[in-house]
Amino acid sequence: MKMLKSKLLDLKEKEHKEEISELKGEQRDIAWGSQIRSYVFCPYTLVKDHRTNYETGNVSAVMDGEINGFLESYLKMDLNP
C-alpha cells in the first residue's frame, strides 16, 4: 500500500511539473545579449525595448513604473514571423 501511495504521489508531482512548464512557455537563458531593454542614464537618457524598438527619453518615469508605452507596443507587435 505504501509503495502504491508513493508511485501515485510521484505521478501527481510529475503531472504538476508538466503543467507548470506548459504555462511558463519557452524560457531563455539569462545571458549577455538576451536583455529585453537597455537603460542609458548618462550622458543622455534613453530606455529602449529591443523587441519592439519602442523608446523613451524619460528614464525616471520608467524607473518609477510608467511602462504603459512598452506594454502597448509589445501587445501591438506582430508575433508571427
26-65 tens-digit pLDDT: 777 777 777 889 999 999 999 999 989 999 999 999 999 9
78 or 36, higher pLDDT: 36
What domain count does the chain have? Answer: 1
Res 79: pLDDT: 67
What is the full DSSP assignment across 10-78?
HHHHHHHHHHHHHHH-------TT--SEEEE-SSS-EEEETTT--EES-HHHHHTT--HHHHHHHHHS-
Residue 74 identity: Y
User: Do the domain assignments include residue 81?
Assistant: no
Q: Give domain status of residue 13, yes or no.
A: yes
Is the pLDDT confidence value at 15 over 90?
A: yes
Domain coverage including residue 11: 2-76
Q: Which class for 11: exposed (0-12), middle (13-18), buried (19 or more C-beta within 10 A)?
A: exposed
In a domain, residue 60? The reply is yes
Model confidence over 16-26: pLDDT tens digits? 988 888 887 77
Under 8 Å between Cβ of 59 and 41: yes
